[in-house]
Amino acid sequence: MKLRVLLMILIVALAACTGGEPTAEVTAEPEAAAEEPAVVAPTQAVIVVTRDPNSSPFGSVQQSEEATEDPFPDALFDSIRIIRVGGGEGVEQIELDIRQDGTYVRNGVPGVITPEEVIEIDAQLDELQFFDMTGDMLGPGGDDRAFTYGITVERAGTRRTVQADDRYMPTILKEFVARILMIGL
């Protein structure tokens, strides 16, 4: 918020410096012309705030940008872990772990989902083609109200982690995350 106010003040100040009536021209003869060209100060400034690509709210993730082939597409997932951070002040961080047997822990509170729900989640994972996703979906930082997710799925000994900002996630991934985050409410 402070950054936005500072940016607005800077823009207004720069606009004030470039606008208005032109200055009066001097009619006296100029003295000897300087050989060097005058240095002109820029009239506009651009401030770009970006997220450090090496910093992640979830710590370092050691994996390549390439897609990880789903080892057994017909097998159920072993575990799913979702961590949600951000959302502004007063919004709780969510940590949710789901196991293949239907047990889960949401922010330290255990529970159980039905076998049918486990199968639905696994089908949605297959539809999403989670193991075929490449890269992370993180945009530039600066919006404290945006949520950032760390999503890790393990299946048949293979693990895939995707980091995503809710402003840059494809709709199908948003639907999957929304479905998972309803567990334990």
User: Domains of the chain: which residue ranges?
Assistant: 79-181
Fold topology of 79-181: Mago nashi protein (3.30.1560)
Confidence (pLDDT) at 47: 43
**Residues 167-179: tens digit of each pLDDT:** 888 899 999 999 9
Q: How far is CA 95 from CA 74, 109, 122, 147, 184, in A?
A: 27, 10, 19, 13, 11
Among 107, 114, 153, 147, CA closest to 133 = 153
For residue 11, list its beta bridge partners.
none
| pLDDT mean across residues, the chain | 75
- Which residue matches tokens 């919004």? 91
Between CA 18 and CA 20 the distance in angstroms is 7
Please indicate whether residue 33 or residue 161 has the higher confidence score (pLDDT): 161
**179: which 2 tokens?**
């479905």
**106: which 2 tokens?**
């949401």
**Residues 147-168: tens digit of each pLDDT:** 889 999 999 888 999 998 888 8
Among 156, 155, 140, 147, CA closest to 55 = 140
**Residues 2-30: tens digit of each pLDDT:** 656 556 675 666 566 655 555 555 555 55
Q: How far is CA 175 from CA 2, 19, 100, 181, 182, in A?
A: 33, 49, 20, 10, 11
The answer on pLDDT for 144 being more than 70 is yes
Between CA 96 and CA 169 the distance in angstroms is 19
The answer on pLDDT for 80 being more than 80 is yes
